[in-house]
Amino acid sequence: MLPTILAIAFMTSGCSHDRPGSPSPLATSSALSTSQTANSKGIFGDLRACGLLEPVTTAKGFAKPTEEDYESDNGCQAQKSEYGVISAYLVDEAGIDELSVGRGAKVSTQVAGRDAVEIPGSGGSYTCMVGVAVGPQARLTVGTTLVKGSNEEACVSSREVAEQLASKLPQGS
């Protein structure tokens, strides 16, 4: 129960629900190209956060991930007793610059050759969020909330998972 409470506190404190941008009509041509079809689904197409997260966390002894929607409608979290919670979100309407720092401070970094930010303590003690750019208006966010430990240990976990997931992401424009 504690990991779930910590995960909820972490995710809601470090995330912005603002979705900047302006609406635009979809193409109406019946001859849409494959890339246009993928764009109508967003930059991530059919990728699902749980599909990416499950092989990584299951190999580490976590329970099967469950879908979450704190940061986007394409999120997932996995829990491990006595360890904590790891979550992943595919956000196709906000880049890493739009990540809220919560209680932490944003530090620029690189993950798998992509621009990224790390936010130690984003949800308070024992937490860290890593945002990985997938284009200027899309990102992968990986968060860790530990049952005990430090923000630095949570960042090691978030970075490790982000590195593994980043290679499976599309190249942004």
Structure-block tokens of residue 13: 């404190």
What pLDDT does residue 171 have? 83
pLDDT for residue 172 = 67
Partnered with residue 137 across adjacent β-strands are none
pTM as predicted: 0.76
d(CA 78, CA 7): 10
Element (H, E) at 111: strand 107-111
Q: What is the mean pLDDT of residues 82-107?
A: 92
> Would you state the pLDDT for residue 135?
87
For 81, the 3-state DSSP assignment is coil
Report the pLDDT value the prediction gives residue 148, as an integer from 0 to 100.
Answer: 95
- The tens digit of pLDDT for each residue in 54-80 reads 999 999 999 999 999 888 899 999 999
pLDDT above 70 coverage of the chain, percent: 75
Question: What topology is assigned to 2-15+44-166 in CATH?
Answer: Protein Transport Mog1p; Chain A (3.40.1000)
Q: Exposure string (b/e) for 27-49, b if CB count within 10 Å is 16 or more?
A: eeeeeeeeeeeeeeebbbeebeb
- Band (40; pLDDT cuts 50, 70, 90): low
pLDDT, averaged across the chain: 81
pLDDT > 90? residue 53: yes
Domain ranges of the chain: 2-15+44-166
DSSP label at residue 171: P
